[in-house]
């Protein structure tokens, strides 16, 4: 067997292995996104790829882009539920802090999912009003 044939075989095995590892990594990223974690926070973890690498994967593979989009949508619902919990648990002593925490999350939701969370009572895109 020639050296080129051996190298081609090794390259094919490496490619399959890298693809499998990328798929596992995308699954892990999706799990964390679905829990409400931001992609920036996920990519800061030492075992995760860089934000640029994930962006490249999304551009190169529409299926990966779809998976990440669906996971982020689930994560937005988790964050929205978190807003309800924060507001429900607010006390007169910490109501200002609770208001800030809820407002910050709602603004992120409006940016990440404008079609679902981007319109407030005023009808303006991104207008979020918080009453606690």
pLDDT at 46: 93
Go through the chain and tell me how many residues it has. 132
User: Which of 116, 115, 117, 92 is CA-nearest to residue 103?
Assistant: 117
Going 44 to 50 to 51 to 54, the CA torsion angle's sign is: negative
Residue 79: its H or E element = helix 62-89
29, 19 contact by CB (below 8 A):
no
pLDDT in the model for residue 14: 46
Q: What was the pLDDT predicted at 122?
A: 53
Mean pLDDT of residues grouped by 10 in the chain (132 residues)?
54 53 93 96 95 95 96 95 96 96 94 82 53 54
What pLDDT does residue 51 have?
Answer: 95
Which pLDDT does position 59 carry in this prediction?
95
Check: CB of residue 116 under 8 Å from CB of residue 106. no
Other Cβ atoms closer than 10 A to 65: 15
Does the predicted model carry a pTM greater than 0.75? no
Q: How far apart are CA 87 and CA 89, in angstroms?
A: 5
């Amino acid at each position: 067997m020639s050296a080129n044939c051996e190298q081609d075989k090794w390259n094919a095995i490496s490619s399959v292995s890298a693809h499998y590892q990328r798929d596992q990594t995308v699954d892990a990223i999706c799990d964390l996104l679905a829990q409400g974690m931001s992609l920036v926070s996920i990519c800061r973890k030492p075992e995760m790829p860089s934000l640029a690498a994930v962006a490249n994967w999304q551009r190169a593979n529409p299926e990966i882009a779809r998976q990440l989009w669906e996971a982020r949508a689930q994560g937005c619902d988790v964050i929205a539920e978190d807003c309800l919990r924060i507001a429900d648990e607010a006390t007169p002593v910490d109501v200002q802090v609770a208001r800030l925490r809820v407002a910050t999350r709602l603004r992120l939701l409006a940016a990440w999912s404008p079609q679902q969370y981007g319109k407030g009572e005023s009808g303006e895109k991104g207008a979020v009003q918080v009453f606690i």
